[in-house]
Each structure stands twice: as C-alpha cells, then as structure tokens.
Amino acid sequence: MSTQTVQTTSHLPQTIEPRNPGMDLDLSWVRSVQANTSAIERRAKTLPGRRSVKKEYQAAWLLRAIECIDLTTLSGDDTAERVRRLCAKARAPLRSDISEALGINNLQTGAICVYHDMIETAVDALAGSGIPVAAVSTGFPAGLSPFHLRIAEIEESVKAGAAEIDIVISRRHVLAGDWQALYDEMRAFRAACGDAHVKAILATGELGTLRNVARASLICMMSGADFIKTSTGKESVNATLPVSLVMIRAIRDYHERTGFRVGYKPAGGISKAKDALVYLALMKDELGDRWLPPDLFRFGASSLLNDIERQLEHHVTGAYSAGYRHALA
C-alpha cells in the first residue's frame, strides 16, 4: 500500500473561518425552543443501526475519529510523567506497524486536555506538533467556586499556554430559568479567554430536561462559545445520543440564523470504536461533512483510542489482540 500523508487541519475553528462572536441575548428565541422528548428518543434509538461501515471504509472513519479525540487525563493522581506519555501518544496515536500497514503518516489526535497545573508540561511536550493544549477551568467539575476566582483561573490557564479552555456553566442558572445570568456568566468567560478557544460544558446529565439542554446550548452560543460540550465526564450520566441530537440541532439552528459555525464535543462514556462511528454518522447526517474535521468536532475521551487501535489492528492483521498490548498513557 502506498504511503499517504494525512491532511492536517488546523484544530481551532477561528483560524479557518470567522469565530463565533456571539450576539445580544434574544429571550424570545430562547423561550421558543422546545424539545419533543419521545420523538428525540425514537430517533436516537435508530441511530446505531442506520450506518454500518465495514473493511477499508470503517478503517478510514476510525482514522478520522482519532483526529477528533481530545486525549484527556483529569485525575487527582496526575503526574508530569503521565502527561508526557499522553502527549507522546497524541503525537503518534497508532503503533508504527499499524500506521505503516495502513500507509498513514502524520496522524495526530485533536488535543490534549489537562488540569491547569499540567498545562506547561503538556505545552513543552507538544512543542512543534501543532496539537493544542486544552485546560479545564472555572472550578471544574462543579463550577461553584467564587466567580472572580473562576475568571482568574481562565486568565492563568491562558497565560500558561492553553489554546483551548473548557469551562463549566452554572447549572443552577439553567434549572432556575435565569437565562440572563447564564448569558452574562458565559460572556465574561469568553472575554477572559481572549484568543483562546472556549468550550462550554453543559453537564447535561444535571440539567433535568432535553428542553433545558436545548436552551442552555443556545445561550452558550449566543454568548460566543466556540464549542458546546455535553459533560465533564464526572456526572452519573454523560454523553448520550438523545442529548447529542438536541445539541447538534441547536448548532444547526444557530448556524442557519447567524451564519456562524459552532463545534460539538460529546464527552464521557464514549469508550468503544463502534460508538465513535455512530457519533460521526450523526454529525454527517445532521450537520454535514463540514462538521467532521477536528476544528468543529471532538471526542472527550481517555480510553477510546485504545479500542480504535485494536479495531485497526484487526483490519490490518485479521485478528484481535489483547488490550494490554496497546500502550496507554
């Protein structure tokens, strides 16, 4: 098989097309948003069986999934050495023999996601690779620290070299229907990020209803979010297909009305290659091919890459290997 070079795409949306500037709060639009839960759940149940790709087509989709992974380590026992290993995996996500058999060069993951204290370590380990460092912020995962400290945390992370900031919204504003407070909070977070790419984490498992998810998604986009993200990965319920369908359609509606594209990131609970294929198919069906590159779509995952690598080894050799044969950070 002839050697191919993967086309590298800039990961930050604002470097490819105009960044979402946000807009004035439109409460009439927000209050008009509804969600038909039964219809959404019926549609979500059909998704896993609607798109089945095999052989070289499946391998190609899995390679795209790798490009969209935010390799993540958010544990209390994180160390500098663990982060360096994760960065090495981001630079070369597949074993060399698998890459050679597939004829792939220059494959990289979408980003590395760490806590603030590990930003400088990650930036140093990724120097020259073009892979951005994302930092969780604003009192992650609960988002309940004092407001001025959340702003300061964002500013410190940007100063340390983070190119992307994953902020958590105040769920209490959504549950109380205080959309003005949520909008003002998000605008302040966006301003503190400056040129850094901002992902708004909705923590959808704690928002109560799909209607709340839809309205919170819209508020975050009105506030200038570059991405909307399902979860911190720390909730009891993380990324699900019904929630993803609601958020993706909110993105579509926002783009149709304003002309600005906002990215989507499902996070938490996505650990199997087959799940990644379902999410990619959903993005293609609902938003089109433009939302498939990593500047507009990411997976928040820590173990997904390992299963994708096993599936690609099976494609190359015809046999599955034990999971322990694949390097983990």
- Residue 263's H or E segment, with its range, is strand 263-265
E strand spans, 100-258? 104-105, 111-114, 133-136, 164-168, 197-201, 227-229
pLDDT (tens, 9 = 90+) of the chain, 329 residues, equals 444 444 444 555 545 678 999 999 999 999 999 999 999 999 999 988 776 788 899 999 999 999 999 999 999 999 999 999 999 999 999 999 999 999 998 899 999 999 999 999 999 999 999 999 999 999 999 999 999 999 999 999 999 999 999 999 999 999 999 999 999 999 999 999 999 999 999 999 999 999 999 999 999 999 999 999 999 988 888 999 999 999 999 999 999 999 999 999 999 889 999 999 999 999 999 999 999 999 999 999 888 999 999 999 999 988 877 666 665 55
CA dihedral 277, 279, 281, 282 (to 10 degrees): 160
C-alpha 231/C-alpha 205 separation (Å) is 7
Residue in this structure with the two tokens 């911190």, named with its chain if needed: 232
Find, among 91, 67, 104, 90, the residue nearest to 316 by Cα: 104
- Three-class SS of residue 323? helix
* pLDDT for res 324: 64
C-alpha 239/C-alpha 249 separation (Å) is 15
Give the largest Cα separation in the chain, rounded: 58
C-alpha 228/C-alpha 201 separation (Å) is 6
* pLDDT for res 14: 46
C-alpha pair distances (Å), 289 with each of 257, 259, 294 = 19, 16, 11
pLDDT tens digits, 95-128: 999 999 999 988 999 999 999 999 999 999 999 9
Which residues lie across from 5 on neighbouring strands?
105
Tokens of 207: 């928002």
E strand spans, 102-233? 104-105, 111-114, 133-136, 164-168, 197-201, 227-229
Encode 91-128 in three state secondary structure.
Answer: HCCCCHHHHHHHCEECCCCCEEEECHHHHHHHHHHCCC
Q: How many residues does the chain have?
A: 329
Which residues are the active-site residues? 166, 229, 265
Find, among 229, 199, 220, 65, the residue nearest to 135 by Cα: 199
* pLDDT for res 205: 93
pTM given for the model: 0.91
* pLDDT for res 228: 98
DSSP 50: H
CB 86 within 8 A of CB 112: yes
Tokens of 115: 């806590």
* pLDDT for res 327: 58
**What are the b/e assignments for 240-268, b being 16+ CB within 10 Å?**
bbbbbbbbbbbbbbbbeeeebbbbbbbbb
Q: Topology of domain 26-317, per CATH?
A: TIM Barrel (3.20.20)
**Sheet of strand 263-265, all strands in order from the earlier edge strand to the far edge:** 263-265, 227-229, 197-201, 164-168, 133-136, 111-114, 69-72, 299-301
